[in-house]
Amino acid sequence: MKKSAPKKDRSASSSSIEDLKTFSFSKENEERVEEIIKRYPKGRQASAILPLFDLAQRQCGGWLPKSAIEKITERLGVSLIRGYEVATFYTMFNLNPVGRYHLQICGTTPCMLRGSEDLKRVCQRHLGIECKETTEDGLFTLSEVECIGACVNAPAIQINDDYYEDLTEESFLKLLKDLEAGLEVKPGSVLGRQGSAPLEKESPC
Amino acid sequence: MPKLLIDGKEIEVSEDVTVLQAAEMLGIEIPVFCYHPKLSIAGNCRMCLVEMEKSPKPIASCAMPVCEGMVIHTQTPMVKKARQGVLEFLLINHPLDCPICDQGGECDLQDITVAYGGDSSRFGLNKRAVPDKDFGPLIETAMNRCIHCTRCIRFATEIAGVPELGATGRGEEMEIGTYIQKAITSELSGNMIDICPVGALTSKPYNFQGRSWELSHTPSIDVLDAVGSAIRIDTRGREVMRILPRQNDNVNEDWISDKTRFACDGLKYQRLDRPYVRGKDGRLHAVSWHEAFDVIADRLQHVPGDHIAAIAGDMMDAEAMVALKDLMMALGSPHMDCRQEGVRTGVGPRCSYLFNTTIAGIERADFCLLIGTSPRWEAPLINARIRKNYLFTGLPVALIGHFHEQGYPLDHLGNDPFLLERIMKGKHPICAALKAAKNPMMIVGQGALRREDGNIILSLARHIADKYEFVHKTKSHSFEYWNGFNVLQTVASRVGGLDLGFLPGPNGYAVGEIIQAIRRKKIEVLYLLGTDEIEMKLLKSAFVIYQGHHGDRGAAIADVVLPGAAYTEKDGTYVNTEGRIQRGLKAVSPPGEAKEDWKIIKALSERLGFEFSYNTLDEIRERLVEINPLFDEIDCVQRTQWREFGQEGVLCSDPFRPTIKNFYMTDSISRHSVTMARCTQEILADKQRVSSYD
Question: What one-letter code names the amino acid at B140?
Answer: E
Q: What pLDDT score was predicted for residue A16?
A: 45
State the best of B168, B175, B178, B186 to mutate against chain A, taking most chain A CBs within 10 Å: B168
Q: B133-158: buried (b, 16+ CB within 10 Å) or exposed (e) per residue?
A: bbbbbbbbbbebbbbbbbbbbbbbbb
The 3-state DSSP class for residue B65 equals: strand
Chain A residue whose CA is closest to B168:
A85
**Inter-chain residue contact B179 with A80, CB threshold 8 Å:** yes
Q: What pLDDT score was predicted for residue A202?
A: 61
CB-based contact, B202 to chain A, within 8 Å: no
Q: What pLDDT score was predicted for residue B184?
A: 84
Length of chain A, in residues? 205
**Inter-chain residue contact A82 with B163, CB threshold 8 Å:** yes
Q: What pLDDT score was predicted for residue A203?
A: 57
Q: What pLDDT score was predicted for residue B443?
A: 97
Per residue, what are the HEC states of B233-267? EEEECCEEEEEEECCECCCCECCCCHHHHHHHHHH
Q: What end-to-end distance do the CA atoms of chain B give, in Å?
A: 55
pLDDT, tens digit, for every residue of B189-234? 999 999 999 999 999 999 999 999 999 999 999 999 999 999 999 9
Of B166, B169, B170, the CB nearest to A81: B166
Tell me if B85 sits within 8 A of B91, measured CB to CB. no
> Which among B344, B446, B430, B415 has a CA at the least distance from the CA of B653?
B415
The residues pairing with B175 across neighbouring beta strands, listed in sequence order, are B168
Contact list in B for residue A80 (CB cut-off 8 A) is 179
Of B163, B165, B169, the CB nearest to A88: B169
CB-based contact, B170 to chain A, within 8 Å: yes
CB-based contact, B89 to chain A, within 8 Å: no
Q: What pLDDT score was predicted for residue B691?
A: 40
Of A84, A89, A91, the CB nearest to B179: A84
Contact list in B for residue A84 (CB cut-off 8 A) is 166, 168, 179
Q: Report angle CA A84, A88, A90 to the nearest 5 degrees.
A: 120
**Inter-chain residue contact B169 with A80, CB threshold 8 Å:** no
Q: What pLDDT score was predicted for residue A81?
A: 93
Biggest CA–CA distance in chain B, Å, is 91
Q: What pLDDT score was predicted for residue B180?
A: 75
Q: How far is CA B43 from CA A136, B33, B49, B151, B468, in A?
A: 46, 9, 10, 11, 44
Helices A80-89, A66-76: axis angle to 10 degrees equals 120
Q: What pLDDT score was predicted for residue B289?
A: 97
State the best of B179, B405, B408 to mutate against chain A, taking most chain A CBs within 10 Å: B179
Q: What pLDDT score was predicted for residue B132?
A: 94
**Inter-chain residue contact B166 with A85, CB threshold 8 Å:** yes
Of B165, B168, B178, the CB nearest to A88: B168
Q: What is the pTM of this model?
A: 0.91
Give how far A58 is from chain B: nearest CA, Å: 21
Strands B59-60 and B49-52, by their bridges, are antiparallel
C-alpha span between B146 and B176 (Å, rounded): 8
Backbone angles phi, psi at B558, to 5 degrees: -75, 155
The answer for B 110-169 residues in CB contact with A (under 8 A) is 163-169
Those residues with Cβ within 8 angstroms of residue B373's Cβ, 6 or more apart along the chain or in another chain: B401, B443, B444, B445, B446, B447, B448, B488, B659
Extract the residue ranges of chain A whose pLDDT is less than 70: 1-21, 201-205
Helices B318-331, B617-627: axis angle to 10 degrees equals 70
Half-sphere exposure of A69 (CA within 13 A, CB side): 20
Give how far A90 is from chain B: nearest CA, Å: 8
C-alpha span between A43 and B24 (Å, rounded): 37
Residue B620: which H helix or E strand, with range?
Answer: helix B617-627
Q: What pLDDT score was predicted for residue B361?
A: 95
C-alpha span between B304 and B524 (Å, rounded): 9
CB-based contact, B172 to chain A, within 8 Å: no
From chain A, which residues contact B within 8 Å (Cβ)? 79-82, 84-85, 88-89, 91
Q: What end-to-end distance do the CA atoms of chain A give, in Å?
A: 44
Contact list in A for residue B170 (CB cut-off 8 A) is 88-89, 91
C-alpha span between B261 and B628 (Å, rounded): 32
Chain B residue whose CA is closest to A93:
B169
Strands A133-134 and A140-145, by their bridges, are antiparallel
**Inter-chain residue contact A81 with B165, CB threshold 8 Å:** yes
Extract the residue ranges of chain B whose pLDDT is less than 70: 181, 475-477, 686-694
Q: What pLDDT score was predicted for residue A20?
A: 56
Strands B440-444 and B367-371, by their bridges, are parallel
CB-based contact, B178 to chain A, within 8 Å: yes
